[in-house]
């Protein structure tokens, strides 16, 4: 190292002349081991901007690549500096210093450096020294230049390798003073240089330098040239001790030397470095030969983006079939005719592509190409026409075919990607380096495509003609002309004048068979027989001619046909507004049938029924009694004529036909009251206009719609005829019933089977007017005691408050004959408005309650259907759906439910009756009858209700106590009957146990056992709490006998 000051280490400068030899093509062997630093510059590492050290020392000492100042080598391992770049930033530098490397080298004092490299230039400007490699510090202050011949004034560098012109030099720290070059030449800077070796070409070379005291050798491509240093050696030689710990390893350039040394130019070394290694020993000739023979690590293939071009048809020769087969362009181009696109050049591998690359092998396997992503639009095929529908498909020959979507074109219409696999190892190319293939699609002038005309009608009228507009489509040009290819059989064709309606010159069949038109319109005039017999549709015959179009570029297109039908000149003209002749439901009405004759003679017409109505019948207007229905083919007898052929306005006023709709059919109004659509189609029938004198000449059948207006019908209601049973819901009745029904033996009694309320089902309402109107509904209890509730889940279908016929308010005429009542829940009277069809939901589960026991009631449901408010219906002005015929009437429909109400009388619950005070349904007690006759005392009775309630509770309590005592007495008698049995069993047990023993002792034992048994029996009886004083006296006697027996 050289610190600033007067004492300097000596730079030793060696000119290293590298002998560039062609690389032999031989089998690659293995490298020698022992590298302390090894950088093989693999492609994936190059893409990642960092090259790891795979040597044995400092494994974390990576080289970092500056991507803006260096680049990877396409298809090869290695790295290169951008040429002629004057930026002074580092291009390839270690991530840390060489502390560990220096320590390792000091143990051997030997070093070898190995390169695979390739110079780009071997000529250059004199004194333009370009740094290949430096070892030294990278961060130090700029100082004043000292000495006139120093290579690195005040420089802190240990070793330099640089190229000047076609020479390679080595400079390194030596001793205590600078040493001049051998004085073989004098440079402008006063320093001495020697020109010993010159590059002769720019081929890659393998370069090894060994350093060991004075044994310093250079090997180029395995050879050791003699006299490489020319006329003599340097006075002092390099020592590995001169590599400082703070030094970094750097390639291609050094920012400090470029900025602060007059000896070094402003450009980096220009070339490629494939491999670099450092050893802590002097390599032998055999080791150098082995490394040279091993060449480089196998390189992966590299891919480059590419832009390819085809045309919008994908055709190899665009537009080649315009004249011969224009229809060919209306279908996708056959795969066999698609243009072949070569992609082989997007992938490269220096191992097999670069004859000068160290690893070149002429017999090596080329890399393989695979599809990475499919095109965004269009289709891709292999060269053998196999469709590619998924990724990872191999493209073995590098050739594909692409078919764009029809008529799509443009720059960069789509893209797809490719990746490669190494031909030798099968390893995939670096992920992220896939080639992007951009497809440009050129526009091609497409032939115009005609729009065929089919089913066009020609009415044989005054001029027996029609005009056809010929049109089509062209993807990229305007359609400017047309020509006739074939002519019709039953008519002539004419040019049409510029006004678009006037027939011009007649077209004649030319010799070439194709006649140009003067515009895109052509006229047709029928020349056939007008009186030919048409079919039921008025059809005479069909005819056809063909044409083709021409675009602005002069390209003619495909042939198109004009196919049309020729009909009679008669036309039926039905009314498009059926409201002009409206029929009422189930009522005969007149429908006006009209037609016209376009011929010049204006013949008299009649009308023929071609199709019958779906929901009604037709009658001849002369059939006033509606006796005979018209059938298909029936002709109405009345004649329709044109009295003044010069005045079309007075021609053919029309003939009426009578229409009668089916029962209950109507199609107007079209909406229900709630706004829903009525499911009913308009009725319709078809008819022809026919010539009166010859009814075989018919017009096309035309459809006449019929409007049938609803006539209001009465609603109908049905329901259960048998009586409804329910128990009263007063507090006393409810409590008594609940207590009665708690007992298991009463659950099947009638009093428990019928609840305190009834859910009524089976009420059905039918109405044929399809809910176009609303009805008023009243539900009322005859006695006023019954409470009725609608099905609360569907209460939204009933209207109580939202309309002006609802409950009175300040804006309502309070003298109206009726109003809505209730809210749908329990009420003695409920009045509401609803659609008839919704009543079935509201009545399904009608609920009834009554608080008056042992009574009868009638519930009457009344439906008011109509528009007379004074009669109880909804006023006409308030039926918001218009259209129905309602007259001024009001249909009233009633239905009555019969209800029987049961109950409970505490006075009749004496504790002995099975019914416990419940009375049969419908039996009215005397006091209830008296209450009915003495209505004036009702208030008094209500006031005393609480007294009656207390009295009932006392009576109920006494009855309950009586039943309890009776039950206890029954249990007591049952147990008294069992007393003798208990005592007898105990005595028998005693005798049985002493049978057969000594007579005296046995008697005593038997007596003792018997007394003990009787005693035990009496104690048990006494424990039951029955028997009274008699048991106590008997027990005392038994105890006395027991004592005597013991004596």
- Side-chain half-sphere CA neighbours of 884 within 13 A: 29
**Region 659-670: what's the mean pLDDT?**
86
- Side-chain half-sphere CA neighbours of 622 within 13 A: 5
Cα 821 from Cα 779, distance rounded (Å): 10
> Which H or E element spans position 801?
none
With contact defined as beta carbons under 8 Å apart, do 706 and 591 qualify?
A: yes
Of the pLDDT bands very low, low, confident and very high (cuts 50, 70, 90), residue 439 is very high
With contact defined as beta carbons under 8 Å apart, do 407 and 424 qualify?
A: no
Q: Which pLDDT value is given to residue 652?
A: 92
pLDDT at 723 over 90: no
Q: Which pLDDT value is given to residue 993?
A: 53
Look at the block and give the residue holding tokens 């090596």: 364
Of the pLDDT bands very low, low, confident and very high (cuts 50, 70, 90), residue 710 is confident
Cα 222 from Cα 289, distance rounded (Å): 5
SS3 content of the chain, % helix, strand, coil (to 5): 20, 30, 50
pLDDT at 821 over 60: yes
pLDDT at 859 over 90: yes
Q: Which pLDDT value is given to residue 697?
A: 72
Annotate 375-421 with DSSP letters as a single string: -SSSEEEETTS-EE-SSS-B-TTSEEEEEPPTT--EEEEEEEEEEEE
Look at the block and give the residue holding tokens 């036309």: 571
Q: Name the phi and psi angles at 955, rounded to 5.
A: -60, -40
How much is the mean pLDDT over the chain? 75
- Side-chain half-sphere CA neighbours of 148 within 13 A: 6
Report percent pLDDT > 90 for the chain. Answer: 25
**Region 502-522: what's the mean pLDDT?**
84
Instruction: Point out which residues pair with 114 in neighbouring strands.
Output: 208, 277
**Region 523-528: what's the mean pLDDT?**
82
Q: Which of 618, 860, 915 is closest to 741 using CA atoms? A: 915
pLDDT at 399 over 70: yes
- Please tell me the least confidently modeled range out of 77-91, 331-345, 854-868: 77-91
**Region 493-512: what's the mean pLDDT?**
85
Look at the block and give the residue holding tokens 């490669």: 420
User: What is the tens place of the pLDDT at every residue in 763-806?
Assistant: 999 888 888 888 899 999 999 999 999 999 999 999 887 555 54
Per the model's pLDDT, the better-predicted residue between 159 and 196 turns out to be 159
Q: Which pLDDT value is given to residue 916?
A: 52
Helices (H) and strands (E) in the chain, counts: 14, 57
Residues 6+ apart with CB under 8 A from 899: 723, 724, 725, 726, 758, 786, 848, 850, 856, 857, 858, 859
Of the pLDDT bands very low, low, confident and very high (cuts 50, 70, 90), residue 814 is low
Residues 6+ apart with CB under 8 A from 853: 727, 728, 730, 733, 901, 902, 903, 904, 905, 919
With contact defined as beta carbons under 8 Å apart, do 267 and 87 qualify?
A: no
Q: Which pLDDT value is given to residue 831?
A: 92
User: What is the tens place of the pLDDT at every residue in 893-948?
Assistant: 999 999 988 876 555 554 444 455 555 554 433 333 333 333 333 333 333 344 44
Of the pLDDT bands very low, low, confident and very high (cuts 50, 70, 90), residue 61 is very high
Cα 785 from Cα 943, distance rounded (Å): 18
Q: Are strands 453-459 and 556-567 parallel, antiparallel or unpaired?
A: parallel
Per the document, the length of the chain is 1047
Query: CA dihedral in degrees (83, 85, 88, 90; nearest 10)?
Result: -40
Per the model's pLDDT, the better-predicted residue between 986 and 611 turns out to be 611
- Please tell me the least confidently modeled range out of 386-395, 538-547, 576-585, 991-1000: 991-1000
């Amino acid at each position: 190292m050289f610190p600033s000051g007067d004492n300097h280490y000596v730079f030793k400068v060696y000119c290293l002349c590298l002998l560039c030899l062609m690389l032999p093509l031989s089998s690659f062997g293995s490298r020698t081991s022992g590298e302390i630093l090894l950088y093989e510059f693999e492609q994936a590492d190059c893409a990642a901007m960092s090259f790891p050290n795979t040597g044995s020392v400092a494994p974390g000492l990576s080289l970092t690549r500056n991507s803006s100042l260096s680049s990877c080598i396409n298809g090869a391992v290695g790295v290169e500096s951008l040429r002629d770049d004057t930026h002074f930033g580092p291009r390839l530098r270690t991530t840390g210093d060489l502390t560990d490397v220096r320590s390792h080298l000091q143990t051997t004092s030997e070093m070898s450096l190995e390169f695979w490299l390739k110079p780009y230039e071997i000529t250059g400007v004199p004194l333009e020294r370009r740094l290949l490699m430096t070892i030294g510090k990278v961060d130090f202050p700029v100082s004043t230049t000292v000495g006139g011949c120093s290579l690195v004034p005040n420089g802190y560098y240990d070793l330099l390798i640089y190229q000047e012109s076609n020479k390679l030099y080595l400079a390194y720290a030596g001793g205590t003073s600078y040493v001049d070059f051998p004085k073989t030449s004098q440079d402008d800077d006063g320093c001495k240089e020697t020109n010993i070796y010159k590059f002769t070409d720019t081929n890659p070379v393998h370069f090894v330098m060994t350093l060991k005291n004075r044994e310093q050798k250079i090997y180029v491509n395995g050879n050791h040239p003699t006299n490489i240093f020319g006329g003599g050696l340097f006075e002092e030689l390099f020592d590995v001790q001169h590599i400082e710990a703070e030094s970094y390893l750097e390639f291609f350039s050094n920012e400090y030397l470029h900025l602060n040394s007059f000896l070094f130019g402003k450009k980096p070394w220009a070339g490629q470095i494939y491999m670099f290694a450092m050893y802590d020993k002097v390599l032998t000739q055999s080791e150098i030969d082995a490394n040279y023979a091993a060449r480089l690590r196998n390189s992966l293939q590299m891919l480059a983006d590419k832009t390819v071009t085809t045309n919008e048809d994908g055709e190899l020769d665009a537009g080649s079939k315009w004249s011969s087969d224009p229809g060919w362009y209306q279908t996708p181009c056959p795969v066999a005719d698609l243009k072949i696109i070569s992609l082989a050049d997007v992938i490269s591998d220096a191992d097999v592509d670069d004859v000068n690359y160290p690893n070149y092998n002429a017999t090596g396997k080329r890399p393989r190409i695979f599809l990475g992503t499919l095109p965004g639009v269009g289709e891709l095929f292999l060269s053998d026409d196999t469709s590619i529908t998924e990724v990872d498909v191999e493209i073995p020959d590098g050739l594909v075919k692409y078919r764009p979507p029809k008529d799509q074109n443009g720059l960069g219409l789509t893209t797809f990607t490719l990746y490669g696999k190494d031909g030798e190892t099968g390893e995939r190319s670096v992920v992220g380096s896939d080639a992007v293939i951009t497809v440009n699609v050129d526009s091609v002038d497409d032939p115009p495509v005609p729009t065929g005309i089919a089913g066009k009608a020609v009415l044989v009228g005054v001029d027996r003609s029609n005009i056809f507009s010929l049109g089509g489509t062209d993807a990229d040009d305007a359609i400017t002309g047309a020509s006739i290819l074939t002519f019709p059989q039953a008519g002539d064709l004419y040019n049409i004048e510029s006004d678009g309606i006037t027939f011009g010159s007649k077209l004649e069949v030319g010799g070439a068979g194709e006649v140009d038109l003067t515009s895109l319109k052509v006229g047709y005039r029928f020349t056939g027989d007008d009186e030919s017999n048409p079919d039921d549709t008025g059809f005479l015959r069909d005819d056809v001619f063909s044409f083709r179009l021409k675009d602005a570029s002069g390209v003619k297109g495909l042939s198109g046909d004009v196919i049309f039908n020729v009909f009679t000149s008669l036309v039926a003209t039905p009314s498009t507004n059926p409201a002009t002749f409206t029929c009422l439901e189930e009522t005969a009405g007149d429908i006006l049938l009209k037609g016209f004759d376009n011929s010049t003679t204006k013949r008299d017409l009649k009308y023929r029924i071609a199709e019958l109505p779906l929901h009604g019948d037709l009658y001849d207007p002369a059939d006033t009694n509606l006796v005979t229905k018209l059938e298909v083919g029936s002709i109405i007898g009345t004649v329709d004529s044109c009295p003044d052929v010069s005045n079309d306005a007075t021609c053919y006023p029309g003939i009426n036909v009578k229409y009668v709709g089916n029962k209950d059919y109507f199609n107007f109004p079209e909406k229900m009251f709630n706004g829903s659509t009525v499911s009913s189609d308009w009725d319709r029938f078809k008819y022809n206009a026919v010539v009166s004198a010859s009814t075989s000449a018919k017009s096309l059948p035309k459809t006449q719609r019929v409007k049938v207006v609803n006539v209001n019908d009465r609603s109908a209601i049905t329901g259960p005829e048998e009586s409804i049973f329910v128990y009263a819901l007063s507090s006393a009745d409810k409590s008594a019933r609940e207590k009665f029904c708690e007992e298991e033996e009463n659950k099947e009694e009638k009093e428990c089977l019928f609840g305190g309320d009834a859910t009524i089902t089976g009420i059905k309402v039918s109405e044929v007017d399809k809910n176009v109107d609303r009805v008023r509904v009243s539900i009322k209890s005859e006695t006023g005691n019954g409470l009725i509730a609608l099905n609360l889940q569907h209460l939204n279908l009933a209207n109580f408050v939202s309309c002006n016929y609802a409950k009175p308010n300040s804006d309502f005429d309070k003298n109206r004959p009726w109003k809505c009542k209730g809210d749908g829940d329990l009420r003695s009277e409920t009045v509401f408005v609803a659609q008839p069809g919704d009543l079935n939901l509201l009545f399904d589960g009608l609920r009834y309650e009554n608080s008056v026991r042992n009574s009868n009631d009638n519930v009457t449901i009344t439906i008011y259907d109509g528009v007379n408010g004074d009669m109880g219906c909804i006023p006409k002005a308030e039926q918001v759906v218009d259209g129905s015929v309602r007259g001024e009437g009001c249909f009233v429909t009633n239905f009555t439910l019969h209800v029987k109400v049961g109950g409970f009388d505490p006075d009749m619950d004496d504790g002995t009756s099975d019914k416990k005070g419940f009375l049969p349904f419908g039996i009215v007690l005397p006091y209830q009858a008296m209450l009915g006759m003495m209505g004036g005392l009702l208030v008094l009775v209500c006031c005393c209700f609480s007294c009656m309630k207390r009295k009932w509770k006392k009576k109920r309590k006494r009855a309950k106590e009586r039943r309890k005592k009776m039950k206890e007495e029954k249990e007591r008698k049952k147990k008294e009957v069992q007393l003798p049995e208990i005592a007898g069993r105990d005595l028998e047990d005693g005798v049985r146990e002493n049978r057969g023993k000594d007579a005296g002792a046995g008697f005593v034992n038997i007596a003792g056992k018997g007394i003990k048994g009787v005693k035990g029996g009496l104690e048990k009886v006494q424990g039951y709490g029955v028997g009274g004083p008699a048991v106590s006296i008997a027990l005392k006697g038994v105890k006395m006998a027991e004592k005597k027996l013991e004596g």
